Amino acid sequence: MLVDIQNLRIAFESRSSRFEAVRGISLSLGAEKLGIVGESGSGKSLTARALMKLLPSNAAITADRLSFDGIDVLSASEKQMRQIRGKRAGFILQDPKYSLNPVMNIGRQVSEAWRTHKGGSKKQALEAAIHLLDQVKIRNPREVAASYPHEVSGGMGQRVMIAMMLAPDPELLIADEPTSALDATVQAEILRLIEELVSERNMGLILISHDLPLVSHFCDRVAVMYSGRVMEELKASELLNARHPYTKGLLNCMPSLTHPRDRLPVLNRDASWLTA
């Protein structure tokens, strides 16, 4: 089992208050594609960041088990985590405009990821970076390597991000809303690219999104989250047969081009979901 999460809880504490954002999540993942969907604030990103131990210092994490390939993440030292981050698990963030370093050129950012885990000279690393940029289907990798993040488009930036995170050949890729900041036409391209690379390398994928049909299209399994809990976990192909009222509600309030409706239903949230 690549990822094993049992009863994960994440709380934010200040001097006067405590807010529990993730309330007992259990998930597991092998070399497969898991989609996590849910509305904003449902705890999808926090769960993914907890696995990489990339949460802000005021977040209190507890879990019965939080492990990556048998390594206990909760008790792992910063040094041990650095052997997981990048090297064994890549993490793609939402908007390349902010997630790439604005004052470092793209070649250096990608080659740095390669060199940190694989060693070698700067020149070798740059060649490897250019090869990686080529793998994510950038047509002029040398030119792109020499440019800065603000000089490339959002889609191109996200390709760079993917190249950077795949550089050390990780076993798991976590993509945290990798396409929300992109145009609709580019979204599909980027997801197809991720899907292709993940399948090619036989990696595990956690795809976080709030786009249900998109996720069900690209993943094997889907976990639906609401308010810090997993409401329902099901096979992507069986999404339309979802049993939980929240999932049904989400599916029901999606507009459809083929069956237009005058008025979309409003999602009814039931307080009993949170205590179940």
Residues that bind other proteins (CB under 8 A): 49, 52, 54, 78, 82-87, 90-91, 93-95, 98-105, 112-113, 116-117, 148, 150-151, 161, 164-165, 168
Nearer to other proteins, 106 or 230 (CB): 106
Rounded to a whole number, what is the distance in angstroms from the first to the last CA of the chain?
A: 27
Angle value at C-alpha 254, between 249 and 260, nearest 5 degrees: 125
Q: Does residue 228 come out as left (phi exceeding 0), alpha (psi in the -120 to 50 range) or beta?
A: left
**Nearest distance from residue 74's CB to other proteins, in Å?**
17
**Nearest distance from residue 28's CB to other proteins, in Å?**
22
Nearer to other proteins, 149 or 216 (CB): 149
Pair of tokens at residue 167: 């550089």
Nearer to other proteins, 126 or 222 (CB): 126
List, in order, residues 6 or more apart from 226 with CB less than 8 Å away.
38, 39, 42, 246, 269, 273
**Nearest distance from residue 157's CB to other proteins, in Å?**
11
**Nearest distance from residue 184's CB to other proteins, in Å?**
22
Cβ–Cβ under 8 Å, residues 108 and 167: no
Nearer to other proteins, 100 or 138 (CB): 100
**Nearest distance from residue 62's CB to other proteins, in Å?**
22
Kindly state the DSSP code that residue 85 receives in the 8-state scheme: B
Nearer to other proteins, 168 or 212 (CB): 168
Cβ–Cβ under 8 Å, residues 92 and 176: yes
